[in-house]
Every structure is written in structure tokens, then in C-alpha cells.
Copies of this chain bind each other. A is one copy, B any other.
Amino acid sequence: MTRPLFQAIGILESCFKEKFGTPRQPMLVPAATARLKIRKEFIPEQSLKGLSEFSHVWLLSYFHLSTNKNFLSTVHPPRLLGKTVGVFASRSPHRPSPIGLSVAKLEKIEGDTLYLTGTDLVDGTPILDVKPYIPSYDALPRAKSGWAGRAKAPKLRVVFAPKSQVPVGLKPLIRQVLSQDLRNPRDKSQLAAGRIHELRLSGCALLYEVRGRLSRVLSVGPAVPKDYAKPGLIPKELLGTI
């Protein structure tokens, strides 16, 4: 068997259980947690040697939920409220090579598993590569950021209804996630007054509503599993043997 061109080195386990609610960029939600177990054929006890000295890593991921059959040359970034930009001027998942690039904080490595925070990836995402973040290569704080620097996403205030019974430990994560407006500005049904949204985070399903600049968490309960993280969504060639 010939070696496949690209291989998943592991499948990410993430607190974000569906696309809705997964942050649109890394580090927006520092309380986000994820784990990456390196597949044993990549000899994690050797291939991870020295990585724990780095504070951050790059995750190169395969956008397995981006199932567009046709190439779209332009995209609608939510914060541009309907305006389009070229796909190569965006970080949209819908690209000729659907590879995600995001930085994550490396909390620790235990054996074959990386413990990460600040991630912006959904549960079940195949990871193609991990690289150390090296500021002298990667950090250009004064780079000019075009439309992304002008169009700031509005922040919402997050409150918990007295009866919502949200466990205290989950509040920072929920607060950080819902301080972004998760609604798609092009989807009128999501913007309708009184609309109640459902969000799956860690093992919970939340119900919440948005009024003006306020997100209000109404209730929390156990989540019913969905199909997003099923292995069937991951192309077999990425799981080939080396």
C-alpha cells in the first residue's frame, strides 16, 4: 500500500459538540478545552519529545463538516453582515484545500495526549498536523489585517436566569461562548424576536435567547448525542496506515 499524502495524526475531542457555538477564531474562548490523542502509529512517546516546552501549538485540521460539493470563490463572513470577500481573503472552512489553521494553548502533555485550551474546533475534527508555535516565525503583531481589523464582532452581555441551574464550573465557558453573537446575520429565523436557541457544550444542552446586546441562559440539561463526531464523516484516506 502506498503511503497516503496526508494523514490524521489524531481526532480532536472538544467541548464544542456541534458547529453552532464553536468559536469562529481561536483564543476567543480561553475556557474552551480539547484533548488530542496522537495515534500510536505515530509513536507519540518519541514524536512529542520536546513539545511540552512550548506554550502554544498550531493545529492543522481537516474541516470535516464542510461538505460543499462545489467551489465557491467568495464567502460571507458573519461580521461583514452580508458583504462578501474572496475565499482566500477569509478563514472560511469552504476552500479548495479545507485545512484549518488555529493556535491553541498547550496546557500539558500526558503520555500520548495533548491537553489544549482556547481551541475553536468542533468535536471529532481530524488533526492533520501539530507544530510548535514559534514567535520568531509566527508572531507579527503589527501586520495589517484588512477587513478583519475593521469589522469587529459585537460583544453580548451574558446573564443566567435564576432557574437555569447552570453548574458553577460551566459558567466561564458559557459566558465566553455566548458573549459572541452566534447567530448568522443572514438567517432571518435565527434573528426573530423570542427565538430560543439550543447549544450543546461539553455534556450539556443549553437553551438561551438573545435580546438586543443581552444573551440570557434559560435552562441547562443533559445533551442528546448528535452525529457530528461519528467516524464515518472522516475520509478513510486520512485514517490510512503509514
- How many Å lie between the Cα of A62 and that of B60 in the bound state? 13
11 A-B pairs with CB atoms under 8 Å apart are: A5-B6, A6-B98, A48-B86, A48-B88, A48-B89, A50-B90, A51-B86, A95-B129, A136-B145, A136-B149, A139-B141
Contact residues on A (Cβ < 8 Å of other chain), bracket: 35 or more
User: Is the pair A25, B136 in contact by a Cβ cutoff of 8 Å?
Assistant: yes
Set of chain B residues within 8 Å of A43, measured between Cβ atoms: 71, 73
Of the candidate stretches A99-107, A170-178, A184-192, A208-216, the one touching chain B is A99-107
The copy count of this chain in the complex is 2
User: Is the pair A51, B88 in contact by a Cβ cutoff of 8 Å?
Assistant: yes
CB distance from A30 to the nearest CB of B (A): 13
Set of chain B residues within 8 Å of A56, measured between Cβ atoms: 140, 143-144
User: Is the pair B60, A7 in contact by a Cβ cutoff of 8 Å?
Assistant: no
- How many Å lie between the Cα of A72 and that of B6 in the bound state? 15
The closest CB in chain B to the CB of A24 belongs to B137
Set of chain B residues within 8 Å of A58, measured between Cβ atoms: 101
Of the candidate stretches A159-167, A195-203, A225-233, A234-242, the one touching chain B is A234-242
User: Is the pair B140, A103 in contact by a Cβ cutoff of 8 Å?
Assistant: yes
Q: Which of A80-116 contact B (CB under 8 A)?
A: 84-91, 95-99, 101-103
- How many Å lie between the Cα of A48 and that of B75 in the bound state? 11
Contact with B along A24-67 (1 / 0, CB 8 A): 01110000000000100111001111110111101010100000
User: Is the pair A7, B41 in contact by a Cβ cutoff of 8 Å?
Assistant: no
Set of chain B residues within 8 Å of A25, measured between Cβ atoms: 134, 136-137
Which are the 3 A-B pairs with shortest beta-carbon distances?
A: A53-B146, A49-B86, A50-B89
Set of chain B residues within 8 Å of A155, measured between Cβ atoms: none
User: Is the pair A97, B132 in contact by a Cβ cutoff of 8 Å?
Assistant: no
Set of chain B residues within 8 Å of A98, measured between Cβ atoms: 5-6
The closest CB in chain B to the CB of A42 belongs to B96
User: Is the pair A99, B128 in contact by a Cβ cutoff of 8 Å?
Assistant: yes
- How many Å lie between the Cα of A7 and that of B54 in the bound state? 31
User: Is the pair B88, A131 in contact by a Cβ cutoff of 8 Å?
Assistant: yes
- How many Å lie between the Cα of A49 and that of B51 in the bound state? 38
- Is A217 engaged at the interface, CB distance under 8 Å to the other chain? no
